[in-house]
A = this chain, B = another copy of it.
Amino acid sequence: MRADAQRNRDRIVEVARALFRAKGFDAVSMDEVAKGAEVGPGTLYRHFPTKESLYDAVLEAWAEKVNATVDSALALDAPAREQLLTWLTDYAAMLTEHKGAAARITAALGDPGSPFAAKCQTYLNANQRLIDALDSALRPGVEAMQISRLVGGVAAVADNSALPSDSVASMLAIVADGLLAP
Majority-rule SS of A interface residues: helix
Interface residues on A, range: 20 to 34
Q: Chain B residues near A153 (CB, 8 Å)? A: 153-154, 156-157
User: Is A107 in the interface zone, CB < 8 Å from B?
Assistant: yes
The answer to whether A182 touches B177 (Cβ under 8 A) is yes
| 8 A Cβ contacts from A50-72 to B | none
Q: Which residue of B lies closest to A162 (CB)?
A: B110
The answer to whether B175 touches A146 (Cβ under 8 A) is no
Q: How many chain copies does the complex carry?
A: 2
The answer to whether B161 touches A109 (Cβ under 8 A) is yes
| Contact for A161 among B110, B170, B178, CB less than 8 A | B110
| Contact for A174 among B103, B109, B146, B173, CB less than 8 A | B146
User: Is A150 in the interface zone, CB < 8 Å from B?
Assistant: yes
User: Is A106 in the interface zone, CB < 8 Å from B?
Assistant: yes
User: Is A11 in the interface zone, CB < 8 Å from B?
Assistant: no
Given contacts A107-B160, A146-B167, A156-B156, 10 further A-B contacts (CB under 8 A): A103-B103, A106-B161, A111-B161, A146-B174, A150-B174, A152-B157, A153-B153, A174-B175, A175-B175, A177-B177
Write 13 A-B pairs (CB below 8 A) sorted by A numbering.
Answer: A103-B103, A103-B156, A106-B161, A107-B161, A146-B174, A149-B154, A149-B163, A150-B154, A150-B175, A153-B154, A153-B156, A174-B178, A178-B179
Question: What is the interface of chain A, defined by CB distance below 8 A to chain B?
Answer: 103, 106-107, 109-111, 139, 142, 146, 149-150, 152-154, 156-157, 160-161, 163, 167, 170-171, 173-179, 182
